[in-house]
Amino acid sequence: MFNLSSRYKNILYRVLLSFVLCIPYWGHVLNYWQIPVIDQIDHIIYDSQIRWNLKDHPTDERIVILDIDEKSLGSETLGRWPWSRDKMATIVNSLFDDYGISVLAFDVVFAEPDTSSGLPKLKQLAANEFKNNADFARKLTQLEPQLDFDGQFEQAILGRPLVMGYYFNAGEAAQKSGGLPAPVLVKEDLQGLDHNMPQWKGFGSSLPRFADAALVSGHFNPVVDLDGIVRRLPALAGYENDLYESLALATSRLYWALQDTPSGQAMRLSGISPLSASSNTGALEYLQVGKRLLPIDQEANFYVPFKGPAKSFTYLSAIDLIEKKIPLEALKDKIVFVGTTAPGLGDLRGTPVSGIYPGVEIHANLTSALLNSDTTPLLHRPTWLKAVEVISVLLIGLLLSLVLPWLSPVGLSLATAASLAATTAAGWNLWESGLVATTATGMLLIATLFVSNMAYGFFIESRRKRQFTELFGQYVPPELVQQMAENPDQYDMSGRRKELTVLFSDVRGFSTISESLSPTDLALYINEYLTSMSRVIREHGGTLDKYIGDAIMAFWGAPVDEPRHALQAVQAAMAMRNELNVVREKFEAKGWPNLNIGIGLSSGDMTVGDMGSKVRKAYTVMGDAVNLGSRLEGLTKTYAAWTLVPEATMLACPEFEFRQMDRVRVKGKNEPVPIYEPVCFKESVTPEVRREIELWNQAIDHYYTSDWDLALQCLQTIEQEGETQERIEIFRTKILKFKASPPPADWGGITNFETK
């Protein structure tokens, strides 16, 4: 009778178990600890949303990337990187003077002086060897403007709406090189605002003369997540209590300044203000630039809303600019980023839209998003959203822990599906509103509670083993079931592809035998035969598949893995031959007809699993390799062979000696199959048997090459050195037939069989 107290006790245990399972997720969302797999799944969801929305972001025609590409590096004009500064000056002057671009931003650093003109060496000579040579000094003074490549580049930069790039570094060995620009904010500007902005310890910038000449500078450090993907770019970076803007932000501010102020001077950042809805928390959430309010996270990063895969912006080769191959309209009034896609220069990143993505295009994506922020809001993760996530995960865990243990399996599944659907829909709606939510914690918590409740009651090992044995015992030998029950999680009945070996055996002339025996004797006859052969198969690790009248089907390698399944199957076939002699003696004593069988083996990929209908199922194998085994069993009589195997089985059994038999094309297969007959273990081969096999194989080889006389000589030698066997007569008849009526020249030694 149903025990109510027992039921309530189980429900209580399930509730307590559910609460325990909630603890890791609650701790994660409350930031007491981190579960990396949750963050990884959140990244996967975020990346999927970015890719889904690519179609909503048309290319920004205002932005062009001038590419330091392999074409440019391979040209005679520019050559390998770094290029001389006079060439860089030519590029800058051409962009502004010839093409009339709006803003130029460098995603590269010019950290070393250019000595390629030889000017430093000439100055050294003037100061030493030729210090008293007035003509040398005068000539050097005249040539210096032409040879001062750095000076030419500095003059090209000066007064232009140009952003010079640089980077910050960290670690104990952080270096400080080049000229650092003036900060855009100082520590006091963040007074009272909660933030987690990282502080850098060093920087790498262009030479001070270039940094000072540039109107604006911006750092190009990406934010690389633990999985190596760039999803965000810093808006600000902290260094020695000062704050420095990024390349994308500096480029956008400069562009806005040109649009808003005719003087073309870059506006200053007007300050940072928190989101009004969360002003009580005082968290860093927005960056205000003039009238523009730009959302950032508490680490002062922008989310990058990628517009598409790599090269979604217009790319122009630097060498084409030098050679004036670019039309004017391609660059007129554009924002131009100078960067590289050449693999050797190391500026390729992993992003949500591509595993190999040019770093310069990441900055172009963010710049485009900033310029469009008035019409298309930037992705944002406000402080209040984190609070909503915490409350949601706490409530999900609490409610489902109390509700799910009371539900039936169907109700449990429906409640879980509804919870997952609601969580997914909420995350998607927030995304559509431009908010970046993390939903993996809630979804994994729901899934965990579902699995724990469904699996409850099956954690007792004895019960699991008993159920497992009852399931597999219908199909698999008991000795294998016992072995499998020791680790039941490794086995299931579902269909799967696997390399196995199958065996088919059949009684020859069974119709004649059945006619000579009474029904009672026939039943005893076949039962004793099947029992004996089945015992041999099971002793050699085989799985009995089925009996088909007098035929036996078995296979090796499943459900228990067996790397040497082919060897076990061949051993079983040889043992069946020995067992048949014992059975024959018993049958002869009873006056029953003599017994002969044929065996076909085949190794290869097969589908193994529980297959059938709703009415009846069986653990069986299917596939071309299975069909081949059945066909070979049928050919044993044709070749007077005890057992036939294909080449795959033969190659898997190097311990055995095999005799070549033929190349056949069986019904249902287009490709010919070499077939062999196993003889014995190689260690058991006598010299006489070895000699016979060698002569036989020579005969087969001559047969394949249509050397009929040589083949017949080999057969004759076999007969002279031993007794005549049926297979020799069959083979001789076949050779004589072809000798009288030769096959086509391209026959390839293949025998076709159109019947099963």
92-113 residue pLDDT tens:
999 999 999 999 999 999 988 9
Query: Per-residue DSSP letters for 302-355?
Result: EE----SSTT-SEEEEHHHHHTT-S-GGGTTT-EEEEE---GGGT-EEEETTEE
**Predicted confidence (pLDDT) per residue in 537-548, tens digit:** 988 989 888 898
**Predicted confidence (pLDDT) per residue in 414-440, tens digit:** 999 999 999 999 999 999 888 999 999
Per DSSP, 132 falls in state T
Contact 572, 522 (CB under 8 A): no
- Measured distance CA(522)–CA(513) in Å, rounded: 8
Please compute the mean of the pLDDT values over residues 572-578 and round it to a whole number: 94
Question: Can you identify the CATH homologous superfamily of domain 492-685?
Answer: Nucleotide cyclase, GGDEF domain (3.30.70.1230)
- The first and second tokens of residue 412, run together, are 């449990």
- State the chain's maximal CA–CA distance in angstroms: 132
pLDDT for residue 370 is more than 80: yes
Please compute the mean of the pLDDT values over residues 102-130 and round it to a whole number: 78
- The first and second tokens of residue 257, run together, are 């300044």
pLDDT for residue 441 is more than 70: yes
Q: Which of 633 and 613 is assigned the larger pLDDT? A: 633
Average confidence score pLDDT of the chain: 85
pLDDT band at 266 (very low <50, low <70, confident <90, very high): very low
pLDDT for residue 502 is more than 90: yes
pLDDT for residue 492 is more than 90: no
pLDDT band at 487 (very low <50, low <70, confident <90, very high): low
Q: Which span out of 12-21, 282-291, 362-371 was modeled with the highest average pLDDT? A: 362-371
pLDDT for residue 275 is more than 50: no
301 conformational bin, left if phi > 0, alpha if psi -120 to 50, beta if neither: beta
- The pLDDT, as a whole number, for residue 290 is 76
- The first and second tokens of residue 751, run together, are 């025998």
Strand partners, 163: 105, 216
Backbone angles phi, psi at 374, to 5 degrees: -70, -30
- Measured distance CA(240)–CA(246) in Å, rounded: 16
Q: Which of 124 and 592 is assigned the larger pLDDT? A: 592
pLDDT for residue 460 is more than 50: no
**Predicted confidence (pLDDT) per residue in 332-354, tens digit:** 999 999 999 888 777 889 999 99
Q: Is the C-alpha dihedral spanning 480, 486, 489, 490 positive or negative? A: negative
**Rg of the chain over CA atoms, in angstroms?**
41
- Measured distance CA(43)–CA(440) in Å, rounded: 9
**Predicted confidence (pLDDT) per residue in 579-588, tens digit:** 999 999 999 9
Distances (CA, A) of 546 to 236, 307, 495, 618: 73, 60, 18, 9
Give me the residue spans of the domains in the chain. Answer: 4-55+381-455, 61-371, 492-685
176 conformational bin, left if phi > 0, alpha if psi -120 to 50, beta if neither: beta
**Predicted confidence (pLDDT) per residue in 404-418, tens digit:** 888 877 888 899 999
- The pLDDT, as a whole number, for residue 228 is 92
- Measured distance CA(694)–CA(705) in Å, rounded: 17
Which one, of 2, 26, 694, 4, lies nearest residue 398 by Cα? 26
pLDDT for residue 722 is more than 80: no
Percent of the residues in the chain that have a pLDDT greater than 90, as a whole number:
53
Q: Which of 404 and 4 is assigned the larger pLDDT? A: 404
Q: Out of 26-35, 448-457, 506-515, which region has the weakest mean confidence (pLDDT)?
A: 448-457
pLDDT for residue 269 is more than 60: no
Q: What is this structure's pTM?
A: 0.59
pLDDT for residue 462 is more than 60: no
- The pLDDT, as a whole number, for residue 440 is 93
pLDDT band at 267 (very low <50, low <70, confident <90, very high): very low
Q: Out of 110-124, 242-256, 452-466, 564-578, which region has the weakest mean confidence (pLDDT)?
A: 452-466
pLDDT band at 268 (very low <50, low <70, confident <90, very high): very low
- The pLDDT, as a whole number, for residue 13 is 81
- Bond preceding residue 82 cis, omega within 30 of 0: yes
pLDDT band at 148 (very low <50, low <70, confident <90, very high): confident
**Predicted confidence (pLDDT) per residue in 78-89, tens digit:** 888 888 888 999
